[in-house]
């Protein structure tokens, strides 16, 4: 998942058992508990403005010359499938999803002046306090990492 604060913006759904093929889509429902490593974490909520989320997902896919697709999950919740990705054995989804894509996603989302779900400056300050080398992701705990912009993700 691509998360910021306590909100999930993008899901990477495994499409096969060996974990090498993923569908990249907007989340369809909040998660009450997420399994990370050996434990469970507190869940994530959906962005307040789903219409904006869908618009950003479609725009980002189109900017990358991909064809976004409107879908419905098994619970009849709408989502946007941005693209599918296949990774090589031994690599992780983080190896394949580049920082520019993540940065552009949040640029598009934040450009609409939404006051909710914006990272508090303190998240960037926390990153600054924890980082060993500027620009490198910081390992937090239980497979969670923090980027220089304060976003967190699971590896």
**pLDDT < 50: residue spans in the chain:** 114-120
Question: H helices of 1-155, where?
Answer: 50-63, 93-96, 99-110, 121-130
- Listed by start position, the domains of the chain span 2-154
Is 0.85 surpassed by the pTM of this model?
Answer: no
Convert the pLDDT of each residue in 67-99 to its tens digit: 888 988 877 888 888 888 888 877 777 777 777
122: nearest Cα among 147, 150, 152:
150
Confidence (pLDDT) at 116:
45
Quote the CA–CA distance of 16 and 13 in Å, as a whole number: 9
Confidence (pLDDT) at 41:
59
């Amino acid at each position: 998942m691509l998360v910021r604060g306590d909100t999930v913006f993008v899901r990477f759904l495994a499409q096969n058992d060996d974990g090498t093929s993923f569908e990249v889509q907007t989340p369809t429902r909040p998660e009450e508990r997420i399994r990370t490593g050996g434990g469970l974490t507190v869940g994530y909520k959906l962005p307040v403005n789903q219409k904006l989320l869908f618009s950003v997902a479609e725009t980002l896919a189109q900017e990358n010359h991909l064809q976004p697709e409107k879908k419905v999950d098994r619970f009849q919740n709408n989502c946007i499938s941005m693209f599918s990705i296949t990774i090589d054995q031994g690599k992780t989804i983080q190896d394949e999803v580049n920082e520019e894509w993540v940065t552009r996603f949040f640029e598009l989302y934040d450009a609409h002046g939404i006051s909710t779900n914006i990272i508090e400056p303190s998240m960037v300050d926390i990153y600054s306090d924890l980082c060993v080398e500027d620009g490198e992701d910081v390992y937090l705990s239980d497979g969670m990492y923090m980027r220089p912009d304060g976003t967190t993700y699971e590896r």
